[in-house]
Chains A and B, each alone.
Chain A
Amino acid sequence: MLAAMGMSSIEDLFEDIPAEVRMTEALPLPPPQSEEEILADARRLLGANVALGDRVSFLGAGLYRNYVPASVFQLVTRGEFLTAYTPYQPEVSQGMLQAMWEFQTLISELVGLPVANLSLYDGSTAAAEALTCSVRVHNRKATQKDTVYVSELTPPDRLSVMYNYCQGADITINLLRHHSDGTLDLDAVSAAVGSCGVYVEQPNPLGILDGGLSELKEILGENTALIVAVQPVSLGLVEAPGHYGADIVVGEGQPLGSPITGGGPIYGIFACSKAYLRLMPGRIVGRSIDVDGKVAYCLTLSTREQHIRRHRATSNICTNETLIALMGAMHMALLGPEGLHSLAVRNMTACLLAKQKLGEIGSIALPHSNNHHFNEFVIELPGSSQDCLAHLDTVGIVGGFDLSAWYPERKNWLLATFTDQTSAKQIELLVAHLAVWASAQGVSA
C-alpha cells in the first residue's frame, strides 16, 4: 500500500507531525493480548465483583433490577442495529428510524404526552435538560425570571447534575419543602408560582406515591412547566403525569429493557407537550414519505440541534442512548398494556408484602408507612444503616441504600427496594436478619 503511494515507510505518513511534539518512548502499557486472554482476564476481574443476582439484594434507589426478556438481548445485538450510527442517510436507516419513531409513540402513550425524543443520557441529564428547557419556554412571561423549583428530596447526585447544567444559563434552583410524612407541602408550592418550572418525582426518591402532585398544575398555572420524573414501570398502575397536567415527563428508562450495568449505559426519558417541541433537547424522528410517496422515516426538527444551530442549539447532545432505548421499545412491545400492568402489580405487591412483614418488627419503624409506595420505602433503624448494611453483607444480603449518603442527618434511614425479582422467601430472610440485628442494637443501647 505504501509503495502504491510512492512511500517507503509508515513514517512518511507522519512527516507532518513536528518533531517537538513526537512521543519519544513506547507507551508504558502491557503487551497485546489475544481474544482468549482478554476474555479470561475479563472473567477473572469481573468475576471478582459481587453481582447482585448472586446475593439477596434490596438495593435500588433509582435503578431497578427488573427481568428483561431473553429476546430483547438476542435482537438488540443484531449487527444492523448494534453497529450502525446516527441515521444521517435515512434510505439505509429505516429500521432504526422506525424503531425510534415507535419508541417515541410508546413513551408518549406511557406518560400521556404527545411528544417524546429518542432518549437522553440518563434520568439525571433528562431532568437537568427539562429545567433548562422550561426556562427557554417560560422565561419571557415568568415573574420569577431564570428560576426553577425542585423537590428537596431529589438525590444530591441528581441535583448536582441539575446545578451543572443550569449554572451556565444563570438559572436559580430553589428547593420545595416536604411534610414529615414524605409528601410534598402543597402550601409551599405557591412560592413557585411565576417561576419557569417545578420538578417533582412520582414515586418520589423515598418510594412514596404522592397523590397531591395531581393538584400541582392547578396551583402553578399555564406559565410554569410542571416537570414530573417517573419510574416508567409504575405507570402500569399509577396515573400518567400527562393526564394530571405535567408539561414535561422525564425519568430513568432503565427498568424497561435494560440491566443496571453499573449505572450505564442506560437511557433517559424525555417527553413533553407540543408547546415545548421546538425548544426541547435531543433527536426526534418524524414520519415522512419518499419520492415514490412510500411511508419513510427521517430525523426532523434538526434545526434545534448542535450540528446545525451550533452555539444556539437547544442542547449540546449528539451521541445519545439509542440502542438502550431500542431495548426499552422491545421490552414494551413484548409487555403490551396488560403486561405492563402485571409488571407494575408485581413490583408494587412485593413492596406491599415487605412493608407488612417489616412493620411487624417492633424495634424498627416505617416513618412514611401511611403512604402508598412503589418499589421502596424508608426503614428507620435502631442503629446506623451503615452498621446494619455491614451486618447484612456478612450473611449475603445487600440490604438497601444508606440514606445518610443523601441526607446526612438521617444516619438511621435505610431505603430498601423490592421489585418483580423479589420473592416472599427473600423478604422473610430480610425480616429475620433485620430483626436479629435490630434486637442486638436494643441490647447494646
Chain B
Amino acid sequence: MSNLFEHKGAKGQGYSQPAPILPESSISLPPSLARKNHARWPRLSEPEMVRHYTWLSKRNFGIDTGFYPLGSCTMKHNPRVNEVIAQLPGIADIHPHQPEHHIQGLLAIFHEMQYMLEVCSGMDQVTLQPVAGAQGEFTAVRCVQEYFRLRGESQRTKVIVPDSAHGTNPASAAVCGFEIVEIPSREDGRIDLDALRAVADETTAVMMITNPNTLGLFEPDIVEASAIVHDVGGQMYYDGANFNAILGITSPGLMGFDAVHFNLHKTFSQPHGGGGPGSGPIGVKSHLAEFLPGPLVKKRPPLGDESQMAIDDMWYGWYQPTRSIGKVQQWHGNAGAVIRCWAYYRRYGRGLRTMSEHAVLNANYLRHAIHKATKEAGVDSMVRDGAEAKVAKHEFTLSLQPAKESHGISAMDVAKGLLDKGYMAPTVYFPLVVPECMMVEPTETESKETLDTFATHFAEVLQVDAETLHAAPITTPVRRVDEVYAARNLCLRHPYDDE
C-alpha cells in the first residue's frame, strides 16, 4: 500500500450514496459537454482508504509527535477544544452570503477579534480578510499604494526591506508592482540606520520590518527608523510573524508603524496543517483605514425587532470602507481559522502578556541550556550565537560555521542529526545573514524538561563524527532525500502504465 494509485479495487465507492433524485437517463449532455473518459482515480474501500491515510500520517511529524522548534513559524500546541469549536454548524455550515441576521454570533466574534488585534497592535482598524501572512503583506502594501495614488504621490515606487527580511516581504511588494530596495543589516544583525538614510527619499513608499527581527532580536533603533521613513513621507509596515514576542509589552503602534499583518496561525495557534491554512489579518492606522478590503464589522445598539436576535444587546453589521481596494479573497477570509484563534485568545484574555513572557522565557532558557550543555560536553567551540545579544526574544539563531570549519559539519547535518533524536529540526539557512544558520523557536507551550532534554540531545549531536552525521538521518521513514534528483527527473504525478 505504498501508493494510492496502486489500489485498483472493484467498481464502487468508499462510501455509499443515495440514488439520484431523477434517473441518470434524464441527463442528456451533448458531445461538446459530456466527459468521455473517467478520471483515472484509484478505487478504495473505506477501510483501505482509512489505512492508507493512517499509514501516511505515521510517516509525518507534527507538534503532536514531538518538539517542533521551527524558528519563524511559532509551532505552539494546538488546543483540541479549538477544533471542536470549528466543527460547530454555526461556523462549518455558514455561507458568507447569508444575511446579517443569520450570522450575528459570527459577526460578534469577528468584531471581538478586530478589537483584540487593534488594542494589541496599537492600530485603529483591522480587517480579517487576508488568509495568510503573505496575503496580509500584499493587502497592506496595496492599501498604502492607493493612499499614495490618492495623494498624487505616484512617484513613490520603492519598498525598502532589510536583507534579513522574510522572502514574502519583497515578493508581496513586487506583486503590487513596487521596486525593491534591500539594505544590508549591521554586523550585529540590526537595522543599519545609515544604510536606511542613504536610500530613504521621496521615492520611498514603504519600509517593511519584522520586530523582533528574523534573528529574534528586538530592534532598539526602531523609533528612529520609523522617523527616518516618515520624514521622507514613507509608510512603516510591520511584519507580524514575530508578534508572539511582544503582546502586551509593546506594540507596532507605539513603535511608529502605520500598518501591520498578523499571522493568526502562529500567534494564536491555528494548526498549520502541513503548510496551511493560515489567517493573515492586517491592522492600519486611521489614515489607511478607508482603503482596507471590505466588508468590515461594526456594532451598534439594536433597532426594533433586532433586539430579539442581538448578541449581548448589540447588533453587528457589515460595512464597506469608502475607498476600499476591493477584495483579496472572494469571501470573508478564513473564518474557520479566525474562530480557532478567537478560542486561543480567550484562554489568555487580558493576560496575553503572559503568553509572550513565557515564549521569550523559553527561548532564552533554551539558548542558555544549549550553551551550557555544549560546554559540558566540550563541543561549545562548534557553535556560536548567530548574533550578539544579551537577551533574545521569542526565538534565537545559532551559527554552525565553527563546526563547519573545524569538523566539516553543516547546519543541515545537525538538523538531520536532530531528526534522529526524535525532533523536528529548527529552521536552517535562514536568515541568510547568518552563516550556517539554525533558527530555534520553542514557543510558550513547551516545558522546562523538554527544553533541557533538547539541549542535551543537541550537544550529543555535535559529538557525533562528521561521517556519521553526513549519513543522518537513519531512523526516519526515508533517509536523506535527493532534491537534485527530484528537480532533474521531474515526476509530479503518478506515472500511469501507459506513460
Closest to B277 in A: A265
- Quick one: which of A312-363 are within 8 Å of B by CB? 312-313, 315-324, 326, 330, 332-343, 345-346, 348-350, 352-353
In the complex, which residues of chain B have a beta carbon less than 8 angstroms from the beta carbon of A322? Answer: 273-277
Residue of B84, B326, B347, B482 near A290 (CB, 8 A) is B482
Query: Is there an interface contact between A300 and B490, defined as CB atoms closer than 8 Å?
Result: yes
Q: Across the interface, do B41 and A332 meet the contact criterion of CB distance under 8 Å?
A: yes
Q: Is the CB of B273 within 8 A of A323?
A: yes
Cβ contacts under 8 Å, B166 to chain A:
307
Asked if residues B119 and A27 are in contact (CB atoms below 8 Å), the reply is yes
A169 adjacent to chain B (CB < 8 Å) = yes
Asked whether A290 lies within 8 Å of B88 as measured between CB atoms, the reply is: no
A176 at the B interface (CB under 8 A): no
- B34 in the interface (beta carbon within 8 A): yes
In the complex, A443 has a CB within 8 A of chain B: no
By a CB distance below 8 angstroms, the chain A residues around B12 are: 336, 338-339
Is the pair B346, A69 in contact by a Cβ cutoff of 8 Å?
no
Of A30, A38, A81, A310, the residue contacting B343 (CB under 8 A) is: A38
Given the contacts A44-B105, A265-B277, A306-B134, A39 and B85 also touching, CB distance less than 8 Å: yes
| B35:A237 contact, CB within 8 angstroms | yes
Q: How far is the CB of A252 from chain B (nearest CB, A)?
A: 8
Query: How far is B40's CA from A338's CA once the two chains are assembled, in angstroms?
Result: 10
In the complex, B327 has a CB within 8 A of chain A? yes
The answer to the question of B481 belonging to the interface, with a C-beta cut-off of 8 Å to chain A, is: yes
CA distance A69 to B14 in the complex (A): 9
The answer, yes or no, to whether B49 is at the interface (CB within 8 Å) is yes
A252 to B398 Cα, complex, angstroms: 42
Q: How far is the CA of A92 from the CA of B448 in the complex (A)?
A: 25
Residues of A within 8 A of B53 (CB): 75, 78, 99, 330, 333
Q: Does B21 contact A (CB under 8 A)?
A: yes
Q: A307-B167, A349-B27 are in contact. Are A96 and B485 (CB under 8 A)?
A: no
B220 near A32 with CB under 8 A, answer no
Contact A320:B132 (CB < 8 A) given known A39-B84, A308-B167? yes
Contact A318-B15, Cβ < 8 Å, known A287-B486, A341-B38, A348-B27: no
Q: Mark A237-253, 1 if CB is under 8 A from B, else 0.
A: 11110010000000000
Residue of A57, A118, A288 most packed against chain B (CB within 10 A):
A288
A158 within 8 A of B: yes
A29 touches B116 (CB 8 A): yes
Inter-chain contacts of A240 with B (CB < 8 A): 35, 39
Check B244 for interface membership: any CB of A closer than 8 A. no
Chain A 143-183 near chain B by CB (<8 Å), digits 1 or 0: 00000000000010110110111011110000000000000
Answer yes or no: B65 CB below 8 A from chain A CBs: yes
Type the 1/0 row for B94-115, where 1 means its CB is closer than 8 Å to any CB of A: 1111110011111011000000
Select one of B46, B88, B92, B272 contacting A42, CB under 8 A.
B88
Residues from chain A with Cβ under 8 Å of B36 in the complex:
239, 243
Contacts of B22 in A (CB 8 A): 349, 352-353
| Interface size, chain B (Cβ < 8 Å) | 191
Interface string of B233-248 (1 = CB under 8 A from A): 0000000000000111
Question: Which chain B positions have C-beta within 8 A of A292?
Answer: 478-479
What residues of chain A lie closer than 8 Å to B58, measured between beta carbons? 80, 95
Decide: B90 and A48 in contact? CB cutoff 8 A.
Answer: yes
Q: How many residues of A contact B (CB 8 A)?
A: 196
Cross-chain contact B106 with A59 (CB below 8 angstroms): no
The residue on A at minimum CB distance from B251 is A23
**Cα–Cα, bound, A2→B283 (Å):** 34
Closest to B476 in A: A91
Q: Which of A124, A260, A423 has the most CB of B within 10 A?
A: A260
- B218 → chain A closest CB, angstroms: 5
Separation of A54 and B265 alpha carbons in the complex (Å)? 30
Inter-chain contacts of B87 with A (CB < 8 A): 73
- Interface contact A28-B39, CB-CB below 8 Å: no
- Chain A residues lying within 8 Å of B177, measured Cβ to Cβ, are 167-170
A114 CB contact (under 8 Å) in B41, B142, B174, B493: B493
Could you tell me the distance between the alpha carbons of A422 and B21 in the complex, rounded to whole angstroms? 9
A352 CA to B27 CA, complexed, in Å? 8
Chain A CB within 8 A of B299 CB: no
- A288–B35 touching, CB < 8 Å: no
| Chain B residues whose CB sits within 8 angstroms of the CB of A308 once the complex forms | 167
A300-B483 contact, Cβ under 8 Å, with A29-B350, A69-B14, A161-B328? yes
Closest Cβ of chain B to A228, distance in Å, is 13
Of B70-78, B191-199, B402-410, B457-465, the one contacting chain A is B70-78
B493 contacts A16, CB within 8 Å?
no
Assess A297 versus B481: contact at CB under 8 Å? Given A82-B64, A108-B493, A420-B17. yes
Closest to B45 in A: A334
CB-CB nearest in chain B for A78 = B57
- The answer to whether B481 touches A298, judged by C-beta atoms less than 8 angstroms apart, is yes
> In the complex, are the beta carbons of A239 and B35 less than 8 A apart?
yes
Q: How far apart are the CA atoms of A174 and B349 in the complex, in Å?
A: 49
A320–chain B nearest beta-carbon distance, Å: 4
Interface flag for A445 (CB, 8 Å): no
CB nearest to A11 among chain B residues: B357
* A12 nearest CB neighbor, chain B only: B391
Question: Quick check: B485 and A53 within 8 Å, CB to CB?
Answer: no
The interface stretch among A190-198, A219-227, A278-286, A375-383 is A278-286
**A26 CA to B87 CA in the complex, in Å?**
33
A22 and B86 CA atoms in complex are apart in Å by 35
**B491 x A29 contact (CB < 8 A):** no
Report the minimum CB–CB distance from B124 to chain A (whole Å).
15
Whether A315 contacts B478 in the complex (CB less than 8 A), given A92-B424, A337-B41, A343-B17, comes out as: no
- The reply to whether A33 and B347 contact each other, CB–CB distance below 8 Å, is yes
Q: Does B91 contact A (CB under 8 A)?
A: yes
Question: How distant is A211 from chain B, measured CB to nearest CB, in Å?
Answer: 4
A22 touches B62 (CB 8 A): no
- Shortest beta-carbon distance, B324 to chain A, in Å? 9
CA of A236 to CA of B275, assembled, Å: 29
Q: Give CA–CA (A432, B337) in the complex, Å.
A: 39
User: B81: which A residues are within 8 A, CB to CB?
Assistant: 35, 38-39
CB pair A92 B35 closer than 8 Å = no
CB distance from A218 to the nearest CB of B (A): 12
Q: How far is the CA of A4 from the CA of B364 in the complex (A)?
A: 11
Bound-state Cα–Cα, A155 to B64, Å: 41
- Shortest Cβ distance from A437 into chain B, in angstroms? 17
CB–CB B336/A261 < 8 A: yes
A93 to B61, Cβ gap below 8 A? Answer: yes
For A264, the closest partner residue in chain B by CB is B334
Residues of A within 8 A of B131 (CB): 121-122, 264-265
Q: A209 in the interface, Cβ–Cβ < 8 Å?
A: yes
Given A316-B171, A333-B4, is A401 in contact with B97 using a C-beta cutoff of 8 Å?
yes
Which residues on B sit within 8 Å (CB–CB) of A167?
Answer: 176-177
Chain B residues whose C-beta falls within 8 Å of the C-beta of A348 in the assembled complex: 27
Beyond A49-B90, A336-B11, list 7 extra A-B contacts (CB 8 Å): A20-B254, A27-B119, A83-B65, A264-B336, A285-B492, A287-B486, A288-B491
Contact sample, A vs B, 16 pairs, CB 8 Å cutoff: A5-B365, A16-B391, A22-B254, A27-B353, A32-B351, A42-B343, A61-B97, A69-B46, A160-B326, A261-B91, A263-B329, A288-B483, A300-B486, A318-B134, A333-B4, A349-B21
Q: 6 shortest A-B CB distances, which residue pairs?
A: A263-B331, A323-B273, A79-B64, A46-B90, A95-B60, A334-B14
